[in-house]
Amino acid sequence: MGNKQTIFTDEQLDAYQDCTFFTRKEILRLHGRYHELAPHLVPMDYTNDPDVKVPLALIVNMPELKENPFRNRIVESFSEDGEGNLSFNEFVDMFSVLSETAPRELKAIYAFKIYDFNTDNFICMEDLEKTLNRLTKEELTPEEVKLVCEKSIEEADLDGDSKLSFADFENMISRAPDFLRYLLLTLPSANDYNVVFSFGVFRNHNFILHSFLLEKQKKISHEIASDSAL
């Protein structure tokens, strides 16, 4: 191929392409992202499989995951130690499942894991309440939360044990209309937009939007601070 990259050997890249839904370029880009997360931890040379793990706190701050209410759960369910530290293999695995081309069945399996907060292999009332509270930022009253959770269990639970097994979950998801299913666990694939903005309208097209958002955030945090001071 004559490429000058020495991050991976060709065999490694081929193996990754066999095991994920990514192309060669995307894998290299993913490595770049991974390296960015912790430049002092992650080596640039991966030809001999270094045993490196990046902690949860760093991964959760990636722009793809930052706004996701289930970010911690996503990362945790892909880590082998269950605490959210991801090696590069797990990192690639995560993005492969979250990519657009991954089949829905695979996504459903991991979605079940993600929504199963207490990892007891069932989505029970407790899990549903947590899910709902994260989705709505806890703006529903406890009665409403209870009603919604009970309703959804009533709808989807087939075996009458008042919690959702994977079979129930899969059945429910497989019956969902396409446009709902489409977005189940699909991230914008590893693209590197940077949220850094420079000073000058024309140099960076994101300037206006981002400065606006930044100010809004500042305002909100200021309000919160003043509230707490009172």
Partner 1 sequence: MFLCYVLKTASHPFFLHNPFLYNFAVDYGGSSQKRETGTCHRVTRAGNSEGERGRKVTEEKSHRDKGRRGNIKERRKGIKEKYEVEDECDEDAPKRMKNRDNKKTRKNEEGEKSKRKTKIKNVKEGNDGESDDVKWGRSKKKEKAKKKKGKQELVEESSESESFSEGGELPEKKEGFTQEELEQLKEAVDEKRKLIITLKGKPWPMRKKLVTLRESQQFLEKYEGALGKGKGKRVYACKVIVMKKWMKFQRDLENFKTACIPWEMKIKDIESHFGSSVASYFIFLRWMYGINLILFGLTFGLVMMPEALMGKPYGSMPRKTVPRGEEGGAMDFAVLWDFGGYAQYSVLFYGYYNNQRAIGWLKFRMPLSYFLVGVGTVAYSYMVVIRTMARNANRDGGGDDTSFNFSWKMFTSWDYLIGNPETADNKFASITTNFKESIVEEQESQKDDNIHLTRFLRVLANFLVLCCLAGSGYLIYFVVRRSQKFALDGLENHSWWERNEVNMVMSLLGMFCPMMFDVISSLENYHPRIALQWQLGRIFALFLGNLYTFIIALMDEINRKRSEEDAVKLNMTAWEAGLYNGTSVGNASGPVPVHPADVPRGPCWETMVGQEFVRLIISDTMTTYITLLIGDFLRALFVRFFNYCWCWDLEYGFPSYSEFDVSGNVLGLIFNQGMIWMGAFYAPCLPALNVLRLHVSMYLQCWAVMCCNVPQERVFKASGSNNFYMAMLLVILFLSTLPAIYTIVTIPPSFDCGPFSGKNRMFDVIQETLETDFPAWFGKVFSYASNPGLVLPFILVMILAIYYLQSTSKTYKVANLDLKKKLQTQNEENKKKNKKAALKAAAELEEAKNAATCRQETECGESGQDRDITTSRQDRDITTSRQDRDAPSQQLSRGKASVNPLFPGLYTEMHLTGKQIRIPHIKRRAQQFLVVVKQMHILCAFALL
The residue from 44, 57, 167, 225 that contacts partner 1 (CB under 8 A) is 167
Residue 63 zone, left/alpha/beta (φ > 0; ψ -120 to 50; rest): alpha
- Count of residues near partner 1 by CB under 8 A: 96
The residue from 5, 32, 57, 135 that contacts partner 1 (CB under 8 A) is 135
Between residues 23 and 198, which has the closer beta carbon with respect to partner 1? Answer: 23
49 is a contact residue toward partner 1 (CB under 8 A) = yes
* Stretch of 37-45, 52-60, 206-214, 222-230 lying at the interface with partner 1 (CB under 8 A): 206-214
Using CB under 8 A as the binding rule, the residues of this chain from 16 to 35 that contact partner 1 are: 17-21, 23-25
* Stretch of 34-42, 52-60, 163-171, 222-230 lying at the interface with partner 1 (CB under 8 A): 163-171
C-alpha to C-alpha distance for 7 and 32, rounded to whole angstroms: 10
Q: Tell me whether residue 212 is exposed, middle or buried, using C-beta atoms within 10 angstroms of its C-beta: 0 to 12, 13 to 18, 19 or more.
A: exposed
103 is a contact residue toward partner 1 (CB under 8 A) = yes
Q: Tell me whether residue 76 is exposed, middle or buried, using C-beta atoms within 10 angstroms of its C-beta: 0 to 12, 13 to 18, 19 or more.
A: buried
48 is a contact residue toward partner 1 (CB under 8 A) = yes
Using CB under 8 A as the binding rule, the residues of this chain from 168 to 187 that contact partner 1 are: 169-173, 175-187
110's tokens: 């991991």
Q: What amino acid is encoded at 229 in this protein?
A: A
User: Taking the CA of residue 86 as centre, how many other CA atoms within 13 Å lie in the half-sphere pointing to its CB?
Assistant: 26
